[in-house]
């Protein structure tokens, strides 16, 4: 049903004039006429006797007028009830986020949620993925946004965004001076990594083992920004989220290397597995995430 046509019809009937309806609704007179013709097609009846000197509703026109007012009234009531519902939702949500998600993705999510639910207080903890998962399990956090898939007992996992892992290399590194990089050229370099428990650290450890890369040494830094800055300063190479690289203006440090393939992972939303333990506030947060990202359970 064309609600805009209904609105136009009601205005024309109230004003007993197509001309006045076009002025009030800021529509052209042909548009007003087209709207009413469309309604007549829908209901397969003549709604208005349009002789040049009179504006008279037919009997079916009177019926459609009354029902149209009811329909638009119900829709307006629903809008007001939704607004009232959002206004009544009060309280707080405790959200945990891994460093990559918390520093570069979560802020825009929070802005969108806060605009729709302004009376819900948002509390955010940023830590590594392992710690966030553990605190959701212990109900110290209501919901978590972490790196990688989650297989911990007591948690449900909803992947929401794909992320690519890339190698970043200092601008003056010896690898950049190689005409052709051999497998041996990739051995015995310093690699900068995140701390144990980090999803990024797990991805890097897996990459080094899978491709038989032998580090000379590793330097552990407990933040994404610190890792990128370390590479910029020439401390060593790293394997890190492309999301981080793009948000820190370090795109030029990305280097495709033979024998090392880029990898993808998911950022996941995690909640307690028992749905009865999820509050209404968290449910509306999950629904907001679903609208933004189209959640898929346990990919």
Is residue 298 in a domain? no
254 and 203 part of one domain: yes
**CATH number of the domain to which 258 belongs:** 3.40.190.10
Question: Among residues 22, 51, 81, which one ends one of the domains?
Answer: 81
Residues 129 and 250 in one domain: no
Q: For every one of its 299 residues, what pLDDT tens digit does the chain have, with 9 covering 90 and above?
A: 688 888 998 988 888 888 888 888 898 988 988 988 988 898 899 988 877 667 888 899 899 888 888 888 788 777 766 766 766 777 889 999 999 999 999 999 999 999 988 888 999 999 999 999 989 988 889 999 998 877 777 899 889 999 999 999 999 999 999 999 999 999 999 999 999 989 899 999 999 999 999 999 999 999 999 999 999 999 999 999 999 999 999 999 999 999 998 899 999 999 988 887 788 888 999 999 999 998 765 43
Same domain, 73 and 50: yes
Q: Is residue 50 domain-resident?
A: yes
- Shared domain for 153 and 110, answered yes or no, is yes
Residue 20 in domain = yes
Which domain does 43 fall in, by range? 3-81
DSSP line for the chain: --HHHHHHHHHHHHHT-HHHHHHHHT--HHHHHHHHHHHHHHHTS--EE--TT--EE-HHHHHHHHHHHHHHHHHHHHHHHHHHHHHH--EEEEEEE-HHHHHHTHHHHHHHHHHH-TTEEEEEEE--HHHHHHHHHTTSSSEEEEES----TTEEEEEEEEEEEEEE--TT-GGGG-SS--TGGGSS-EEEE--TT-HHHHHHHHHHHHTT---SEEEE-SSHHHHHHHHHTTS-BEEEEHHHHHHTT-GGGB---TT---EEEEEEEEEES-GGGS-HHHHHHHHHHHHHH---TT-
Global pTM reads 0.66
Q: What is the pLDDT of residue 299?
A: 38
Say if residue 181 is in the same domain as residue 147. Answer: no
Q: Do residues 149 and 175 share a domain?
A: no
pLDDT score, position 298: 44
CATH number at residue 69: 1.10.10.10
- Same domain, yes or no: 16 and 136: no
**Structural domains of the chain, count:** 3
11 with 76, same domain: the answer is yes
* Residues 141 and 287 occupy one common structural domain: yes
**In a shared domain, residues 135 and 211:** no
Give the model's pLDDT for residue 83. Answer: 67
């Amino acid at each position: 049903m064309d609600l805009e046509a209904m609105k136009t019809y009601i205005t024309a009937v109230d004003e007993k004039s197509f001309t006045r309806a076009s002025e009030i609704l800021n529509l052209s007179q042909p548009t007003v006429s087209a709207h009413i013709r469309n309604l007549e097609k829908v209901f397969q009846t003549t709604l208005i006797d349009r002789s040049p000197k009179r504006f008279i509703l037919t009997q079916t026109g009177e019926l459609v007028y009354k029902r149209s007012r009811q329909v638009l009234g119900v829709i307006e009531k629903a809008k007001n009830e939704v607004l009232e519902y959002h206004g009544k939702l009060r309280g707080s949500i405790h959200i945990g986020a891994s460093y990559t998600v918390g520093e570069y993705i979560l802020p825009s999510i929070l802005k969108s949620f806060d605009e729709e639910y302004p009376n819900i207080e948002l509390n955010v903890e940023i830590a590594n993925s392992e710690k966030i998962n553990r605190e959701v399990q212990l109900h110290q956090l209501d919901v978590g946004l972490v790196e990688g898939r989650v297989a911990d007992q007591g948690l449900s996992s909803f992947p929401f965004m794909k992320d690519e892992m890339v190698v970043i290399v200092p601008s003056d590194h010896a690898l950049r001076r190689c005409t052709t990089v051999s497998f041996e050229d990739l051995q015995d370099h310093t690699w900068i990594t995140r701390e144990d428990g980090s999803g990024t650290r797990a991805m890097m450890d897996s990459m080094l083992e899978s491709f038989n890369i032998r580090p000379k040494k590793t330097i552990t830094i407990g933040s994404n920004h610190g890792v990128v800055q370390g590479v910029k300063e020439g401390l060593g190479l790293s394997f890190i989220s492309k999301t981080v690289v793009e948000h820190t203006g370090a795109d030029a440090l990305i280097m495709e290397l033979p024998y090392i393939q880029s990898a993808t992972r998911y950022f996941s939303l995690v909640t307690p597995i028992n749905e009865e333990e999820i509050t209404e506030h968290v449910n509306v947060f999950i629904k907001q995430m679903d609208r933004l990202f189209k959640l898929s359970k346990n990919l």
